[in-house]
Amino acid sequence: MVAVVDYDAGNVKSVEKALDKLGAEHVLTSDPEVIKIADSCILPGVGNFGDCMDKLRSAGLDKAVKDFAASGKCFLGICVGLQLLFDESEESPGVSGLGILKGKVKKFTSTDELKVPQIGWNNVFNVKGRLFEGIDENTYFYFVHSFYLDAADKNIVTSNTSYGTDYDSSIESGNVFATQFHPEKSSDAGLKVLTNFLKIAGEL
């Protein structure tokens, strides 16, 4: 059973639809006890870093997510769900992230040629790790974001993407996986990423 964390800040419908298509048993939940007993967990996220952290904390889900990530069971963060795993974001100065991994989320610099947020398809490179099994270098995925990850430990980075600067677009640290792009909105390649996660988690 996959627990999809519901904290009123995630693109949960698209995630659920993708999981349905893949035949993965899942539950949408805001109950820490349900998350605790799940076999794997997905943390979606859309919106402001600080608002998302406030919603997690007010629902008592910040501890549930941290405990799950520490449990050894497979965990996947998506978009802001990736950013929340780290220490802080320039989007919300003074707001602490979950601090599961070390790093900072920084703001893209807008120019006449480079519009912020980045919305649309972009490719990933320097691809490695289990999420990308069977996925080619420079495959395109769907992104929507104004801020990007700069992980402190580059050994956990499993892909990079370029948008004015090269940034870390996915990570793998033990049982913890995360993508800045939206696999649930990235057609066949995104479904392959989700399939790989579910297979690692023993869900498929």
Judge contact between 140 and 181, C-beta under 8 A: no
- Structure tokens that stand for 96 in this block: 């602490």
**What's the one-letter identity of residue 181?**
F
**Which member of 74, 91, 145, 182 is catalytic?**
182
User: Which candidate in 16, 79, 88, 203 is catalytic?
Assistant: 79
Tell me whether strands 103-107 and 166-173 are parallel, antiparallel or unpaired.
unpaired
Task: Identify the active-site residue in 16, 88, 172, 184.
Answer: 184
DSSP SS3 for 106? strand
The question of whether 52 is a catalytic residue gets the answer no
The reply to whether 182 belongs to the active site is yes
Question: Known catalytic residue: 26?
Answer: no
Which strand (E) or helix (H) includes residue 149?
strand 147-151
Give the residue numbers marked as catalytic: 79, 182, 184
